[in-house]
């Protein structure tokens, strides 16, 4: 397995254990039929509780229902899951970084007690509703709104969210909405149980990317939630944006896993496949591709490791996460394309992983801040001048 500059030599016992557990899980539970799920456009739903039992949801949170491991261990977990499929890593990312993290960081004690144990073991599924049909890259322009109910105690939500991972199977949706009853209409987080009146979640069909992942819409029509369902400790865009920083950290690691899986498929294929009387790996053109891929993956992997160190000591800035998300997903996109090319005609099938990863990475390139948006974040950080508008 590619680890060209021996980064894994420095792993602790615990980190090795988590990496190996996730790697074994992917080999035994994901690889055998992920191609079929991708073709069918289904998520292997049996894995949801299995991943919970293995402690794959937000193990980096400090809570009695989670494993409380370090950031590097968490990163390795995301890396190994995405080596299986981006849809599997997305499941863990959304549940952990986008639902459990905000409940842990900004929730009340009652909200933590109600949701964290069930989300941690996979007996409940959560989703994160930020994107709207007319507001993707600029979520601060969101139209979904909350108004105080007539009883004065709760809120009534109206609006719609789209492209929401796991919405159709979620038990709880964390919906970000503007609180019209507060001065300045700040964005607040609302925990909406999906069996409430006034909320509907529909499946989005026709995806050609991230096919082994469930995606949907959320419609809110006069949906009442009690006041105790509001995340009490955050107000404004800081709420959703801090969740995205957590998830993007996982994506920076995950992209390394998908890229590595493509590289390994290409390396194996090149040494097995014979043309012109010998393996294609003997051709300099193929060796150059492998050399470029290995170098780019190693660079991305090094950045991910550094990010984990900064996060562990509390020094990680969101802009640094943007650099890693942007670079590592770009690398993955390029590596997946080259690996697919090296597999010739066989490369376009689900018998091999590169084309599936290549299709998936189009989503990863777009969600959690598009490549363009991360470019602008870096541009602003480097110059002090914002170029978003």
Residues at the interface with ligand FAD (CB under 6 A): 94, 128-131, 136-137, 163-165, 210, 215, 363, 366-368, 370, 372-373, 376, 388
Residue closer to ligand FAD by CB (options 164, 270) is 164
In whole angstroms, how close is the CB of 144 to ligand FAD at the nearest point?
11
In whole angstroms, how close is the CB of 7 to ligand FAD at the nearest point?
30
Residue closer to ligand FAD by CB (options 215, 298) is 215
Residue closer to ligand FAD by CB (options 201, 363) is 363
Residue closer to ligand FAD by CB (options 210, 270) is 210
Count Cα neighbours of 306 within 13 Å in the Cβ-side half-sphere: 13
In whole angstroms, how close is the CB of 103 to ligand FAD at the nearest point?
16
How far is it, in rounded angstroms, from Cα 22 to Cα 261?
14
Instruction: Kindly report the backbone phi and psi dihedral angles of residue 198, in degrees, each rounded to the nearest multiple of 5, phi listed first.
Output: 95, 0
| Ranges assigned E (strand) in the chain | 126-129, 145-148, 154-165, 172-179, 187-193, 199-203, 215-226, 274-275, 278-279
Listed residue (166, 169, 188) closest to 93, CA to CA: 166
Listed residue (43, 174, 45, 77) closest to 116, CA to CA: 174
Residue closer to ligand FAD by CB (options 290, 355) is 355
Of all residues in the shown chain, the one whose CB is closest to ligand FAD is 136
Residue closer to ligand FAD by CB (options 49, 137) is 137
In whole angstroms, how close is the CB of 74 to ligand FAD at the nearest point?
19
Q: Label the pairing between strands 172-179 and 215-226.
A: unpaired
Residue closer to ligand FAD by CB (options 73, 98) is 98
Instruction: Kindly report the backbone phi and psi dihedral angles of residue 201, in degrees, each rounded to the nearest multiple of 5, phi listed first.
Output: -125, 125
Residue closer to ligand FAD by CB (options 38, 367) is 367
In whole angstroms, how close is the CB of 93 to ligand FAD at the nearest point?
9
- Pick left, alpha or beta for residue 55 (phi over 0 → left; psi -120 to 50 → alpha; otherwise beta): left
* DSSP string over 43-77: --TTHHHHHHHTT-SSTTS-STTS----HHHHHHH
Q: Which stretches of 227-317 are DSSP H helices? A: 238-272, 284-312
Determine the straight-line distance between the first and last CA of the chain, rounded to whole angstroms.
44
How far is it, in rounded angstroms, from Cα 176 to Cα 157?
10
Given the residues 64, 200, 368, 380, the one annotated as active site? 368
In whole angstroms, how close is the CB of 243 to ligand FAD at the nearest point?
10
How far is it, in rounded angstroms, from Cα 283 to Cα 2?
21
The dihedral sign for the CA sequence 214, 145, 190, 226: negative
In whole angstroms, how close is the CB of 121 to ligand FAD at the nearest point?
21
Residue with tokens 């009534």: 156
- Residue 183 is a catalytic residue: no
Say if CB 311 and CB 245 are below 8 A apart: no
How far is it, in rounded angstroms, from Cα 115 to Cα 99?
9
In whole angstroms, how close is the CB of 136 to ligand FAD at the nearest point?
2
Active site (catalytic) residues: 368
């Amino acid at each position: 397995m590619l680890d060209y500059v021996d980064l894994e030599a420095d792993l602790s016992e615990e980190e090795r254990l988590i990496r190996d557990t996730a790697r074994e899980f992917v080999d035994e539970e994901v690889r055998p039929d992920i191609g079929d799920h991708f073709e069918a456009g289904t998520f292997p739903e049996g894995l949801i509780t299995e991943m919970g039992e293995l402690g794959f949801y937000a193990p980096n949170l400090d809570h009695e229902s989670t494993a409380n491991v370090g950031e590097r261990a968490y990163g390795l977990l995301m890396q190994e899951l995405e080596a299986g499929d981006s849809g599997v890593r997305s499941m863990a990312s959304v549940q952990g970084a986008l639902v459990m993290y905000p409940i842990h960081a900004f929730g009340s004690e009652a909200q933590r007690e109600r949701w964290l144990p069930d989300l941690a073991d996979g007996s409940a599924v959560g989703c994160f509703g930020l994107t709207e049909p007319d507001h993707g890259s600029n979520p601060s322009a969101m139209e979904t709104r909350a108004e105080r109910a007539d009883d004065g105690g709760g809120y009534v939500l109206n609006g719609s969210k789209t492209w929401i991972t796991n919405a159709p199977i979620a038990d709880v949706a964390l919906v970000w909405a503007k609180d019209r009853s507060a001065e300045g209409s700040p964005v607040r987080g609302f925990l909406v149980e999906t069996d409430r009146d006034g909320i509907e979640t529909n499946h989005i069909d026709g995806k050609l990317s991230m096919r082994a992942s469930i995606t949907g819409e959320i419609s809110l029509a006069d949906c009442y939630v009690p006041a105790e369902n509001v995340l009490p400790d955050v107000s404004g865009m800081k709420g959703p944006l801090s969740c995205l920083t957590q998830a993007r950290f996982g994506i920076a690691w995950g992209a390394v896993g998908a890229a590595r899986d493509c590289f390994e498929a290409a390396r194996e294929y090149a040494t097995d496949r014979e043309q012109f009387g010998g393996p294609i790996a003997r051709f300099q053109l193929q060796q150059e591709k492998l050399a470029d891929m290995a170098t780019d993956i190693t660079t991305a992997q090094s950045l991910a490791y550094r990010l984990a160190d900064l996060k562990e000591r509390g020094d990680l800035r969101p802009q640094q996460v943007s650099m890693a998300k942007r670079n590592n997903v770009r690398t993955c996109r390029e590596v997946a394309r080259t690996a697919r090319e090296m597999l010739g005609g066989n490369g376009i099938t689900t018998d091999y992983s590169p084309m599936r990863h290549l299709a998936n990475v189009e989503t990863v390139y777009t969600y959690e801040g598009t490549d363009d948006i991360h470019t602008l974040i870096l541009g602003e950080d480097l110059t002090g001048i914002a170029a978003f508008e």
